[in-house]
Structure 1
Amino acid sequence: MPFMTTNPALARALAERDYNNPTPVQLAVLAPEASARDLLVSAQTGSGKTVAYGLAMAETLLGTEERFASAAAPLALVVAPTRELALQVQREFVWLYAGTGARIVSCVGGMDPRQEQRLLNQGAHIVVGTPGRLRDHLERGRLDLAALRVAVLDEADEMLDLGFREDLEFILDATPPERRSLLFSATMPRGITALAKRYQRDALRIEVASAEGGHADIEYRTIRVAPTEVEHAVVNVLRFYDTPSAIVFCNTREAVRRLHAMLQERQFSAVALSGELSQTERNHALQALRDGRARVCVATDVAARGIDLPNLGLVIHADLPNDAESLQHRSGRTGRAGRKGVSVLLVPPFRRRRTEDLMRGLGIAPAWSGPPTAEDIRKLDHERMLSDPLLTEEPNEEDASAARTLLAAHSAEHLAAALVRLYRAGLPAPEEVADPGEPRAARDRSADREFGGPSGSGGGGSSWFRLNVGRRNNADPKWLLPLICRRGNVTRRDIGVIRIFDEETAFEVGLAAADRFSKAVRKANADDVVIEPLPGGPSNARSERPARGKPMRDKPLRDKPHTDRPHQDRPVQDRPRYEKPIREKTFRDEAPWKKPADGKGEHGRAAFDRPREAKRPAPGAGDRKPKDARPATFEGKPKGKPKGKPPRRP
């Protein structure tokens, strides 16, 4: 179905770009019932919204005319949440309005405001910008919106999440009340509805959703990984899918820096995008991805908002997003304009339930699997090498002559091996990554957790290991348990009793996870902390005296009475009662802060430890009357107010 646009210039631009089949959102905004009305559109990321509101604006801006008049005050304003999205909208409008003579100016943070001011003074038909920079131009009087006819809010939900509500209200209050408002958002929270009710008039609500779900062209994959092998899993996923370009999402700038450095070290052509980079650096990174000079982009959520990269076939979530909407926006970077894409979530065992909740929020059933192994990647490399154009294309005469010369000097097998080495030399080496395995059902988990008793016999349901950290190293289960789980790629449910001794710590691991734990700790024993098997259980530990305080995480059942306090195993009525010995108070008890002298005199140590004598009353003290004593009668009452309480009347 062709585009329903009446402007010949726009029709030619669409034809040149092979836009023959409009998307559902484009058909909805160009329908007759949506003509010249305010629109409140809910459509998923990558559904062609930019072209949709670009065509909808043309009806109001151009009418029956094919070209714009001379540029003066802006006629249309597009507000986007991030610099990348605003610049992308400008690029889309440049080719869409190329035949109309439109002058399009961008106003985004990180660029030279004086240059933007000069372009605005020269006149503009359409202004595209971010909320903060547009408000700055309005407050300084550089931007005049008196002649505005159309206002567009793109990714409105993201702008509210980023805290731009006050800026948006300031901008919309500066526009004429009769202007047309087009509000596009992937989701419709309460804040978007309130904003539309305040600034739109009789808006037409359009909700476009695919019958197969939010992203029918995106394949979601959830991969189980150990917490310490997330970066290695990223390498294997990139090697396994081998797409022309991919993006890896992290939650923090520090994670972006670390993962970007690791990928570059492993021969990946990678760039980084985060909020700490300048706009020039971000533009260079995106241009490297578009030119093919870089293949992988490591970015945070905010920096990657609105990125539209050609041939982006893979999105990797190295860190899980905060909510289902963020997952939807991240995954929407691929599977755009009818192209297929893959969204991979790397999930440690303790994040599985959260991942299932995120996927349930999108109405998607996750497909769980282990990470791609090095053997799987090598097999794919072999298949890709056989289908490489260097081998499938017919050689020319010069190449054939060089091949005959080589065959005369070396055997065919030798040359084939050299070709394989040359092909593999340009590929990053895959990593050895273990699969944590599927979580056991509740019934199976209870059977696997039948650990051996606390006596240390290493019962049939567990295996014992030792850790060269003990009570003298301030060992505590609070930090020992996470350390053990990280080193062994297991979860808390796989760890049983932890016993801390003077020199080392003994702990038991469930039998189902013992083999995986042994393989993982052999690789992780690289520093001073060493974990090794402990045959026979804690009875073979270096110190039999348990640590003070709480010596274990799970308190086992007693199989024998304690030797140091045997009365604790008796009934209460049979327990012996001990009387506390009576001791005289000494001067040390009453004045422990005073340090005794070394000698034996009046202030010596002997005097310090002797019992303190009772204080003798002063001579004649018994004949004295208390100061507050009252006279027996009121005769001869002393002058002044009597002390104490007045006598009670008879």
Structure 2
Amino acid sequence: MSFSKLGLIQELLKAVAEQGYTTPTPVQQQTIPLILEGRDVLAGAQTGTGKTASFTLPLLQLLTASTKVHHTSRPVRAVILTPTRELAAQVHDNVNIYGQNLALRAEVIVGGASIMMQTRNLRKGCDIIVATPGRLIDHIQQRNVNLSQVEILVLDEADRMLDMGFLPAIRQIMSSLPKQRQSLLFSATVPNAIKTLAATVLNNPVEVAVAKQNATADNISERVYGINREDKRALLSYLIGSNNWQQVLVFVRTKHGADRLEKQLIQDGIRSTALHGDKSQGARNKALEYFKTGKATVMVATDVAARGLDIDDLPHVVNFDLPQVPEDYVHRIGRTGRAGAKGEALSLVCPDEAHLLVEIEKILKRSIPRVADTGYEPVSLKVIDAPRKQPAKPNGKKDLRHSKKPSDRNARAAAHKYDDAKRPQRSKPQASCSR
């Protein structure tokens, strides 16, 4: 099937062709005709399936064809809500790319940017607002924007917005919208919380399920490296240098951990940048730009980048820390293997993360292949119960005969028969990574 068979106008077909797209993805094939018919849609689609275009293209066409009489020169007629600033910026870019041949104007409204500049742009008038919930509420409360003439509402990555606690904000925004409107809800997963939200937002919706829930793409190669926590950084540097990787997205659990790993990788001679919520919007944009253009080989990110981060042909994703929420594993590695391309996802798992790995494999309903020889001391990733407290001896002292001395681990490591040539060297940065 071609895009021309979906009922899109020539201006949009031309823009799509200029981006090199010829065949719509399954989610686009199913949702675009429904949205053009004016139906409310609840779409469950994994990341990397082309869902942004599936609501952007018909939204632009419907706004262009609308014959409503407006009392202001350019009222806001569509609102697209996203959970993160990065996703909002990317959706806004898509709106501009696909709408380049149309007389529509869009604004991106997110936190971390100048509210005064946003206010000036809003007062000039725009057809489409792409926003994060918190900043949009700021403008509503300051009466910088009027949403009474909105015709289309889109909730993108709705499950992520609920995870981030945006439900009260979404309800507050909805109270500013007209009841007669078309509403679209897109979510990577459709748990009961999303169905409850859909019941309040959507009117007689059509439900579209494109991909199996909590499934990873078949074209992504996944592997687990069992490794002690203190050896993770050295192994990561070794993998990047020895394989000459040029673009690697590395996920960590905390903002502090992202900054620390960025500095450590730079010390190893690897060009790196970090992306997390404590950085200013300007710094986040700069980090993403460096990574996309190849100025940085590695971007170390927290889960703020797990959803919606659109990077063409990203070959490698590494879970330096496993996510606390098992479903986030799917979203993280979904940054690679997009649009049918091959991707590689590696997870560096230490023993105290073994229980997280069990939960991830439980939702995947399969085990992830382990790498037998990591080049480091082998570790067990079996989940075992906490050791029982040793009974006290009659004299009140514990039996320490079976306790390991602090030096035992070094002795075992020294005695282990690994080929030293295979063992990554932590003390020296990889020359192939230097630029």
How would you bin the TM-score normalised by the shorter chain? Answer: 0.7 to 0.9
Distance apart, 1:349 and its partner CA: 3.1
Per the alignment, do residues 289 and 71 of structure 1 end up closer, same or farther by CA in structure 2, a change over 3 Å counting? Answer: farther
Distance apart, 1:263 and its partner CA: 0.4
Query: How many residues are aligned here?
Result: 402
For 2:295, what is the secondary structure of its paired residue? coil
The aligned runs of 1:406-485 (5 Å cut-off) are 433-436=375-378
Identity %: 32
For CA contacts below 8 A with separation 6 or more, give which structure has more relative contact order: 2
Aligned mate of 2:413, from 494, 509, 516: 516
CA contact (8 A) 2:28 2:53 kept: yes
Distance apart, 1:5 and its partner CA: 3.3
The aligned runs of 1:462-611 (5 Å cut-off) are 497-498=402-403, 515-516=412-413, 518=415
Aligned mate of 1:158, from 157, 160, 169: 160
Bigger radius of gyration among the two: 1
Unaligned ranges ≥5, structure 2: 385-392, 418-422, 424-435
CA contact (8 A) 2:80 2:154 kept: yes
For 1:497, what is the secondary structure of its paired residue? coil
CA contact (8 A) 2:226 2:381 kept: no
Question: 220-229 or 29-38: which moved more?
Answer: 29-38
The aligned runs of 1:21-60 (5 Å cut-off) are 21-31=23-33, 35-60=37-62
Per the alignment, do residues 440 and 358 of structure 1 end up closer, same or farther by CA in structure 2, a change over 3 Å counting? Answer: closer
CA contact (8 A) 1:75 1:150 kept: yes
The aligned runs of 1:382-421 (5 Å cut-off) are none
Q: Separation in 2 of the partners of 1:269 and 1:287?
A: 13
Q: Separation in 2 of the partners of 1:211 and 1:188?
A: 8
Q: Separation in 2 of the partners of 1:18 and 1:210?
A: 27
CA contact (8 A) 2:272 2:298 kept: yes
Per the alignment, do residues 85 and 288 of structure 1 end up closer, same or farther by CA in structure 2, a change over 3 Å counting? Answer: same
Question: 314-323 or 357-366: which moved more?
Answer: 357-366
Per the alignment, do residues 363 and 498 of structure 1 end up closer, same or farther by CA in structure 2, a change over 3 Å counting? Answer: closer
Q: Separation in 2 of the partners of 1:185 and 1:233?
A: 35
Q: Are 1:136 and 2:133 an aligned pair?
A: no
Measured on the aligned residues, the alpha-carbon RMSD in Å equals 3.1
Q: Separation in 1 of the partners of 2:57 and 2:138?
A: 28
Aligned mate of 1:99, from 98, 101, 106: 101
For 1:128, what is the secondary structure of its paired residue? strand
Distance apart, 1:102 and its partner CA: 1.5
Letter in 2 for 1:2: S
For 1:202, what is the secondary structure of its paired residue? coil
- Name 2:388's counterpart in structure 1: none
Q: Separation in 2 of the partners of 1:256 and 1:440?
A: 27
Per the alignment, do residues 496 and 13 of structure 1 end up closer, same or farther by CA in structure 2, a change over 3 Å counting? Answer: farther
Q: Separation in 1 of the partners of 2:108 and 2:133?
A: 12
- Name 2:119's counterpart in structure 1: 117
Cα deviation digits, residues 168-222 of structure 1 (max 9, x gap): 0011111111110000001112221111101211011111116994322222111
**TM-score normalised by structure 1 residue count:** 0.58
Distance apart, 1:268 and its partner CA: 0.7
For 1:177, what is the secondary structure of its paired residue? coil
CA contact (8 A) 2:324 2:356 kept: no
Letter in 2 for 1:331: I
- Name 1:367's counterpart in structure 2: 369
Letter in 1 for 2:85: R
Cα deviation digits, residues 506-565 of structure 1 (max 9, x gap): 9988xxx97436469xx9xxxxxxxxxxxxxxxxxxxxxxxxxxxxxxxxxxxxxxxxxx
For 2:21, what is the secondary structure of its paired residue? coil
Unaligned ranges ≥5, structure 1: 373-432, 443-453, 455-474, 478-494, 500-504, 524-650
Q: Separation in 2 of the partners of 1:97 and 1:75?
A: 15
**TM-score normalised by structure 2 residue count:** 0.85
- Name 2:219's counterpart in structure 1: 217
For 2:338, what is the secondary structure of its paired residue? coil
Per the alignment, do residues 177 and 267 of structure 1 end up closer, same or farther by CA in structure 2, a change over 3 Å counting? Answer: same
Q: Separation in 2 of the partners of 1:307 and 1:476?
A: 54
CA contact (8 A) 2:31 2:54 kept: yes
- Name 1:281's counterpart in structure 2: 283
Per the alignment, do residues 240 and 179 of structure 1 end up closer, same or farther by CA in structure 2, a change over 3 Å counting? Answer: farther
Q: Separation in 2 of the partners of 1:355 and 1:151?
A: 37
For 2:185, what is the secondary structure of its paired residue? strand
For 2:358, what is the secondary structure of its paired residue? helix
Q: Separation in 1 of the partners of 2:144 and 2:302?
A: 32
Q: Separation in 2 of the partners of 1:75 and 1:63?
A: 12
CA contact (8 A) 1:349 1:436 kept: no
Letter in 1 for 2:413: R
CA contact (8 A) 1:159 1:165 kept: yes
Distance apart, 1:145 and its partner CA: 0.9
Letter in 1 for 2:109: C
- Name 1:321's counterpart in structure 2: 323
